[in-house]
Amino acid sequence: MSEEKFQIITFYEFKAFDASELTTIRAWLRDAMRENSIKGTIILAEEGFNSTVCGEQRAIERFVPDAESILATRLIYKSSFHEVCPFRKIDVKIKPEIVTLKKPVDISLGNGTHVDASRWNELVKDPSVLVLDTRNDYEFKNGSFDRAVNPQTEKFSDLPDFVADNLDPDTHPRVAMFCTGGIRCEKFAPYMKQLGFKEVFQLEGGILKYLETVDDSESLWQGECFVFDDRRTVDENLDKGIGPDYSQK
């Protein structure tokens, strides 16, 4: 990885912002990205922020403390490297949600549902656990975990309908879910708790953190992981993949 020129980091947090301060925060983040030669996308909402950005490694090292100061937090990010920047511009957006579910969710119900990679493998192997891929169908086609259920959704906000039509807290008491970087599960795990599912687990840090930390010999991941930038997919080493772009079909 050391020979790769550009560092790509993804980070998010559910953190309450006042609507009146979002425009100012957006302007500050744009300035910080421009000053540090950072490209990528940051989404802001009253519920928090969600981002994937890229720059040379030293530029990322400068940008992170600037972003932490602006967002008044400590960033926890996942990192990968590539020989070219997979983003073409600076894009900071204000939206109603940082990940669109269109359902009211008490995020605090997700406390205690996170599991790390070692525990995750145990859950995937456990036949009493339903393993739910919370991503869209075109993402699933590039790769997923062994035994994972594909809801065949076109967008994240379709997932509640899949659950209503196919899952039941009484017949599926144990559900383990995952997504690319963790943010969709941060919303969907507490949503499932609201519906009465007794044991809900979410893969902490998502697929990207799993691939970063789990040795290939122990990995239960199969295929490549779709990412939302010009790389399209990444392989088990977080290098640019070779899989097709099913999102365009």
What is the tens place of the pLDDT at every residue in 194-247? 999 999 999 999 999 999 999 999 999 999 999 988 889 999 999 999 988 888
Span 143-156, pLDDT tens digits = 999 999 999 999 99
How far, in Å, CA of 240 to CA of 231, rounded?
A: 6
List 54, 85, 179, 225, catalytic entry: 179
Whether 58 is covered by a domain: the verdict is yes
Q: Which helix (H) or strand (E) holds 45?
A: strand 39-45
Whether 100 is covered by a domain: the verdict is no
For 156, residues 6+ apart whose C-beta sits below 8 A from its C-beta are 99, 100, 101, 134, 136, 184
How far, in Å, CA of 105 to CA of 109, rounded?
A: 9
Is residue 179 annotated as part of the catalytic site, yes or no? yes
Last residue of a domain, one of 94, 122, 151: 94
Is residue 3 very low, low, confident or very high in pLDDT (cuts 50, 70, 90)? Answer: low
Residue 2 has pLDDT above 50, yes or no: no
**Claim to verify: residue 72 and residue 175 sit in the same structural domain:** no
- Structural domain containing residue 16: 6-94
What's the domain count of the chain?
A: 2
How far, in Å, CA of 25 to CA of 13, rounded?
A: 15
Residue 4 has pLDDT above 90, yes or no: no
Give me the pLDDT at residue 230, please. Answer: 86
Give me the pLDDT at residue 249, please. Answer: 60
Question: Which of these, 85, 83, 146, 88, lies nearest to 120 by C-alpha position?
Answer: 146
Give me the pLDDT at residue 47, please. Answer: 97
SS3 151: coil
pTM of the predicted protein model: 0.88
